[in-house]
Amino acid sequence: MALKTTMTKDPILKVEHLSMRFGGLMAINDFSFEAERGEITALIGPNGAGKTTVFNCVTGFYKPTMGMITMKQRSGKEFLLERLPDFEITKHAKVARTFQNIRMFSGLTVLENLLVAQHNKLMQASGYTILGLLGFPAYRQATKESLELAKHWLEMASLTDRADDPAGDLPYGAQRRLEIARAMCTGPELLCLDEPAAGLNPRESLALNELLQAIRRDTGTSILLIEHDMSVVMEISDHVVVLEYGQKISDGNPEFVKHDPKVIAAYLGVEDEEVEEVIEEIEEIESEQGGINP
Amino acid sequence: MANVASTTASAGTEVTARALREAVFTGLITLGLFFLFVGLKTDQNIRNELILTERWGLLATFVAVSMVGRFLIVAYVQPWLAQRKAVKAAAPEIVKGESFFSRNLSKIAIVALVLYPPVIVALVGVQGSLKWVDNFGIQILIYVMLAWGLNIVVGLAGLLDLGYVAFYAVGAYSYALLSSYFGLSFWVLLPVAGILAALWGVILGFPVLRLRGDYLAIVTLAFGEIIRLVLINWTEVTKGTFGVSGIAKATLFGIKFDASKDGFAALFGLPMSSAYYKIFLFYLILGLALLTAFVTIRLRRMPVGRAWEALREDEIACRSLGINTVTTKLTAFATGAMFGGFAGSFFAVRQGFVSPESFVFLESAVILAIVVLGGMGSLTGIAVAAVVMIGGTEILRELTFLKVIFGPAFTPELYRMLIFGLAMVIVMVWKPRGFVGSREPTAFLHERKAISGSFTKEGHG
Amino acid sequence: MEYFIQQLVNGLTLGSIYGMIAIGYTMVYGIIGMINFAHGDIFMLGGFAALIVFLVLTSFLAGVPVVLALLLMMIVGMLAAALWNWTIERVAYRPLRGSFRLAPLITAIGMSIVLSNFIQVTQGPRNKPIPPLVSSVYNVFGIAISLKQIVIVVITAILLSVFWYIVNRTPLGRAQRATEQDRKMAALLGVDVDRTISVTFIMGAALAAVAGTMYLMYYGVVVFTDGFVPGVKAFTAAVLGGIGSLPGAVLGGLLIGLIESLWSAYFTIDYKDVATFSILAIVLIFKPSGILGRPEVEKV
């Protein structure tokens, strides 16, 4: 598994030497990782590790202090995300995102939420409103198509029967799915999900996993997700990057990360001395096994 | 049985006792509030010095009325309301099918408005119709149009604009100045005024639209005041506080509304009356207002309109969906401003005179109040609010019979704005979401359901 | 140079008045996040209360010393304005707390209309001039400083120190700051939020009334429309200084006063308000949080 990912080497997103400073606080410190095309990459770490900050840098809501974020589309076109304003990252670079604390258009219906997501496409079809206002057929055709796409994602998120209800009226789990469906309606190549499973009950969690798997299977969209619940991550992700205090402590397939003592230490929250002990132990084991240490 | 009766009886005395206590408290507060301002009046004597007039009787009336009022509310109105609420909660909710009337409300309203001038003329005669068509028809429709225009900015896009009257002024002065300097006709200048106002909307909007919430409110207020002050002080062009007078009237396909022999009255063999021009203006503003409504309804179903509403709901989510929030806000600002400009040029042609006096902050406040009282985003609600607030205060001019009650010195007009302000407060406290709190969705899959106001947000801009 | 300093003194006086009104705006905005549009009219009301007290004193109790008269005008004005503001908060703002954000803004505008028209109806629409209360003028190094100006600046300084002490050093101020930060949490920790908000309105009104008294004394005239322009300028001052910040309100007030008097002295007086509003717009565009305000962090 690990071998395969290193072999294909077609990263959709490359984050290099990313640093983000808030005043005196170094939230992200020289952080680099790659997300492979077509895979689900998980960014995990304890609370306050800086995962959402990485996300905000990738999606343009924060401008990083240092570093380079490269998005490479299927067509081969490359975008330097740290230089683009947030809305252009979605519009041109085709990176969509969701939020940790769900951001719905709660007064619009579920369907309208999905139509708003197709804004740029429809705007063009409506001739920047003018042709649409005059009722040109091209716009009517585009409207029909956008409704079809919305219906498709309603189906995928199993929200079809709630389509005409206000988004704010949906239960929590359904809102999470709607947010993902809405992001998918922008037609992204990379989908960034900020803690999609947070606060879900087991049944909703299962529905979410199915939705994510289906997205990857049917659309080939690559997914980057933040999670701090390890069990969710292990089930669906192909590649896991672990962040602690703004630094990368582990990077590999789920199996590798699960057994990485640094990760275990970070998650168990052991004392500093104990971490050192653990690390010493690892080093001992490693030297016994292969004698890499000098 | 006797037990129950005695508890209700004791509850009754308890309520009465509480009502008495509250009445005394209210009386004391009223006394404190009005002691200086009602009990004493500052007047000028013959030597132009200020002297005090005492009005203790009036003060006593105020206090008495407030005490009795509070007592009645606590003792009778509140228990009655609570009881009614309980009954309502207990009764199964009856879902009423929409009646023919409510379904076709807007069509009925349009027909009624089109028929309004002939009906009035038939009822009170040509000359008598002047007041009804002008004060109640045109006056209200101007506010309806302005409020519908502002609704795009505040109600749909959720941007709080306290200087809307600036665009109204731009439109009015565009027509007034361009027609008096270049002699252009109303029909040419109407679109020009709209375009100029929209241009100003973009110019003023561009720097301020990254501001949020109340900052945006205060900067728009400042811009409104700046435009008014420039109109006052740039006397070479605007003639300052004297205003521009003698503005050309509009024509109907070249037919003038004057006493000349090819004027409207002569042409149709009617006796000369200014009422025809007013009726013409009535249909003109009705047309403009309906245009505003039509465009708003169409735009709401277009991507730009949806983006406005999405912006009101959550700006950050909008950006995450690739929507350029700056241009979206600017289009809302410009569209709203354009309708303000149309209304302004209409205002100029109706009055024949414009001065900075007409474009004070109070006007912005009144228009905003109509939008919010009507229910943000709802065209019907806003129209209702305009009729209630503007029509209501206009009616005060008519209440001459009150002079019989309060004496000949009583002028109801004086109380117009006082009552307007009180009505604003009362309606808002009674219905914080406005007359029509629900929102009509712009697209549907299975059925169109109105969205309760509790879900919609008011925007933070 | 002397002319310049003269203008500085005039600007400082005017700025003190704006600053005192601005505090009411900034405190209310800080604690419940609403623009209290009626605040300018509370200031005007305070001025009228002082005017009426002055007339009562001159017509019924002739020969009262000026200091005592001024003190009485201030105190009665403070009481009247505080009672009005308290009542307004109770009937027009409190029922709307926690609902739709624009609703209290509209009731505030409504109350502003009510207050100015109430005074117009009960007191008449004319200007109300009074004879000068204090008229001595001192000449310091060629600069004319009137006693009025000294009184205004000194009273402002004293009141601001008192306010600063209340907000920063007393349990009441602590409750106010807690409510400002997080109303729900403050309520859970036993702060009587309703009472704290009421007290904030009372404090703001009292300061506005003092400003109204000073305004009456300085210009010698008051009229029912006087609430609007000084009100808007004071709100401008509050925003300029950074809304929610007490020192910011005072600083903003002084700046507005200075801009106004310097602009009138060196450029054309006609456009002095245009200058004030333009500077407000420029400051907000480049530093939206004002001079001393904390920058608003956009949470994603």
Distance CA C180, CA C196 (A): 10
Residue of A nearest to B325 (CA): A87
Asked if C50 and C174 touch (Cβ cutoff 8 Å), the reply is no
Residue C284 and residue B218: Cβ atoms within 8 Å?
yes
Tell me if B417 is assigned to some domain: no
Distance CA C260, CA A209 (A): 64
Tell me if B412 is assigned to some domain: no
The count of C-alpha atoms lying within 13 angstroms of the C-alpha of A282, restricted to the half-sphere facing its C-beta, is: 12
β-sheet bridge partners, residue A40: A223
Residue of C nearest to A53 (CA): C300
Do B310 and B449 lie in a common domain? yes
Asked if B288 and B342 touch (Cβ cutoff 8 Å), the reply is yes
Distance CA A91, CA A104 (A): 19
Q: What is the pLDDT of residue A132?
A: 66
The residue-averaged pLDDT of B175-183 equals: 86
Q: What is the pLDDT of residue B50?
A: 79
Query: For residue B385, what are the domain limits?
Result: 100-398+431-455
Question: Closest Cα of chain C to A6: distance in Å?
Answer: 33
Closest alpha carbon to A75 in A229, A214, A234, A189: A189
Q: What is the pLDDT of residue B273?
A: 72
Q: How many CB atoms lie within 10 A of CB A4?
A: 10
Distance CA C52, CA C164 (A): 30
Whether residue C297 lies within 8 A of chain A, CB to CB, comes out as no
Do B108 and B65 lie in a common domain? no
Which 3 state secondary structure label does DSSP give B54?
strand
Q: What is the pLDDT of residue B94?
A: 52
The residue-averaged pLDDT of B171-196 equals: 88
Do B213 and B347 lie in a common domain? yes
Distance CA A196, CA A225 (A): 8
Do B67 and B112 lie in a common domain? no
C200 token code pair: 């904030």
Instruction: Tell me, rounded to whole angstroms, the distance of Cα B104 from its chain centroid.
Output: 24
How many domains does the structure of chain B reveal?
A: 2
Tell me if C258 is assigned to some domain: no
Asked if B244 and B353 touch (Cβ cutoff 8 Å), the reply is yes
Closest CB from C49, C101, C298 relative to B458: C101
β-sheet bridge partners, residue A243: A248
- Of B70, B90, B110, the residue at which a domain comes to its end is B90
Distance CA B226, CA C280 (A): 11
**pLDDT mean across residues, chain B:** 83
Beta strands at A11-22 and B40-44: parallel, antiparallel or unpaired: unpaired
What are the residue ranges in chain A where pLDDT is below 50?
Answer: 1-7, 291-294
Distance CA C253, CA C14 (A): 8
Residue B373 and residue C106: Cβ atoms within 8 Å?
yes
Per DSSP (E only), the strands in B202-346 are 244-245
Tell me if B161 is assigned to some domain: yes
Question: Closest Cα of chain C to B101: distance in Å?
Answer: 30
**What b/e readout covers A270-291, taking b as 16+ CB neighbours within 10 angstroms?**
eeeeebeebeeeeeeeeeeeee
Residue C109 and residue B365: Cβ atoms within 8 Å?
yes
Highest mean pLDDT among A21-35, A110-124, B409-423, C198-212: C198-212
Q: Which residues of B touch A147 (CB under 8 A)?
A: 443, 445
- Residue A163 has what DSSP assignment? T
Tell me if B374 is assigned to some domain: yes
- Residue B255 has what DSSP assignment? B
Asked if C37 and C112 touch (Cβ cutoff 8 Å), the reply is yes
Asked if B148 and B382 touch (Cβ cutoff 8 Å), the reply is yes
Query: Which position has the token pair 């903003």?
Result: C252
Q: What is the pLDDT of residue A212?
A: 85
Residue B63 has phi, psi (to 5 degrees) of -65, -45
Q: What is the pLDDT of residue B1?
A: 46
Asked if B383 and B144 touch (Cβ cutoff 8 Å), the reply is yes
Q: What is the pLDDT of residue A49?
A: 79
Q: Counting one residue from B and one from C, how many pairs have CB atoms under 8 Å apart?
A: 181
**Least confident stretch, A131-140, B31-40, B205-214, B429-438:** A131-140
> What percent of chain C has a predicted confidence (pLDDT) above 70?
97
Which 3 state secondary structure label does DSSP give B324?
coil
- Residue C293 has what DSSP assignment? S
Distance CA A71, CA A58 (A): 9
Query: For residue C60, what are the domain limits?
Result: 2-226
Do B182 and B329 lie in a common domain? yes
Q: What is the pLDDT of residue A270?
A: 57
The residue-averaged pLDDT of B160-181 equals: 90
User: C244 Cβ partners below 8 Å, 6+ apart?
Assistant: C26, C29, C30, C180, C293, C294
Q: Which residues of C touch A62 (CB under 8 A)?
A: 300
Query: Which position has the token pair 């002084």?
Result: C254
Asked if B414 and C100 touch (Cβ cutoff 8 Å), the reply is no
pLDDT for B25 beyond 70: yes
pLDDT for B199 beyond 90: yes
Do B51 and B130 lie in a common domain? no
Do B225 and B338 lie in a common domain? yes
Do B78 and B141 lie in a common domain? no
The residue-averaged pLDDT of B119-132 equals: 77
Beta strands at A66-72 and A222-227: parallel, antiparallel or unpaired: unpaired
Do B161 and B85 lie in a common domain? no
Q: Which residues of A touch C300 (CB under 8 A)?
A: 52, 56, 61-62, 99
Distance CA B76, CA A108 (A): 41
ipTM of the complex: 0.88
Residue of C nearest to B224 (CA): C277
Residue B453 has phi, psi (to 5 degrees) of -60, -20
Query: Which position has the token pair 């199915």?
Result: A210
User: Whole-prediction pTM value?
Assistant: 0.86
Do B107 and B182 lie in a common domain? yes
Tell me if C281 is assigned to some domain: no
Tell me if B289 is assigned to some domain: yes
Chains interfacing with C (3 or more CB pairs < 8 Å)? A, B
Asked if C235 and C36 touch (Cβ cutoff 8 Å), the reply is no
- Of B26, B58, B90, the residue at which a domain comes to its end is B90
Number of H helices, E strands in chain C: 11, 4
Tell me if B449 is assigned to some domain: yes
Do B77 and B114 lie in a common domain? no
pLDDT for C209 beyond 90: yes
Q: Which site among C85, C224, C225, C277 would you substitute to test the B interface, given the most B Cβ atoms closer than 10 Å to its Cβ?
A: C277
Q: What is the pLDDT of residues B216-273, one digit of tens each?
A: 888 888 888 888 988 888 888 888 778 888 787 777 777 777 766 667 766 676 766 7
Do B299 and B446 lie in a common domain? yes
Q: What is the pLDDT of residues B33-51, one digit of tens each?
A: 898 888 888 888 777 777 8
- Of B90, B112, B127, the residue at which a domain comes to its end is B90
pLDDT for B382 beyond 70: yes
Q: Which amino acid is present at A16?
A: E
**Least confident stretch, A277-291, B432-446, C161-175, C279-293:** A277-291
Q: What is the pLDDT of residue B298?
A: 87
Tell me if B413 is assigned to some domain: no
DSSP letters, B157-195, are S----S-THHHHHHHHHHHHHHHHHH---HHHHHHHHHH
- Residue B248 has what DSSP assignment? P
Q: Counting one residue from A and one from C, how many pairs have CB atoms under 8 Å apart?
A: 6
pLDDT for B98 beyond 60: no
pLDDT for C18 beyond 90: yes
Closest alpha carbon to A186 in A107, A116, A257: A116
Distance CA A68, CA C174 (A): 46
Q: How many CB atoms lie within 10 A of CB B23?
A: 20
**Least confident stretch, A109-113, B101-105, B139-143, C54-58:** B101-105
Residue B215 pLDDT grade (very low, low, confident, very high; cuts 50, 70, 90):
confident
Closest CB from B225, B362, B420 relative to C277: B225
CA distance from start to end of chain A = 29
How many domains does the structure of chain C reveal?
A: 1
Residue B149 pLDDT grade (very low, low, confident, very high; cuts 50, 70, 90):
very high
Distance CA B224, CA B164 (A): 7
Closest CB from A59, A105, A129 relative to B313: A105
